[in-house]
Amino acid sequence: TFDDGPIPGPTDFVLEQLDRYNAKATFFCIGDNVKKNPELFQKLKDFGHRIGNHTFHHLNGWYQDTETYIDNVTQAETVISSDLFRPPYGKIKKQQANILLNKYKIVMWDVLSYDFNKEISPEKCYFNVVKNSRPGSIVVFHDSLKAFKNLEYALPKNLEFFKEEGYEFKTI
């Protein structure tokens, strides 16, 4: 899975890599990024990837009152049509989740690549995914400028490694 896009450059790179390895993914998109990059968002769908809502402004649910948070998710619905939702930072209050579960499947992850962390090397990002993934894992990468240095190195190597191990890459 990929969070935070679509962003020109990083998202284009991800699409190229996924196509190269015949891999499908689920992209949890920020509504504001979709609004700014509608052609790139359409390209995600045209390539057969699945889309999920990731709020309009990448809000941390722990720091938002429920009404503000739900309003931001609803605002994202104006540009993202999906029954999948991932809370930014994985942070969501029980009341927020209970409301969203009426409309969405909330999708978390079991492997965080840490590609966004500038304190880890691209190699460590790669090995983190290899070490912690197992059949059925939901891995999170980020198609963002902040994560690009690690993503650019780790994503193709991870795709190659897991393809050689016989894994398939599917949407949620």
Catalytic residues, by residue number, are: 3, 142
**C-alpha radius of gyration, the chain, whole number:** 15
Q: Is the N-terminal amide bond of 6 cis, ω within 30° of 0?
A: yes
Residues 6+ apart with CB under 8 A from 171: 24, 25, 26, 48, 49, 50
Distance CA 6, CA 16 (A): 14
Q: Which helix (H) or strand (E) holds 29?
A: strand 26-29
DSSP string, 85-130: E--GGG---HHHHHHHTTT-EE---SEE--TT-TTS-HHHHHHHHH
Single-letter amino acid, residue 65: D
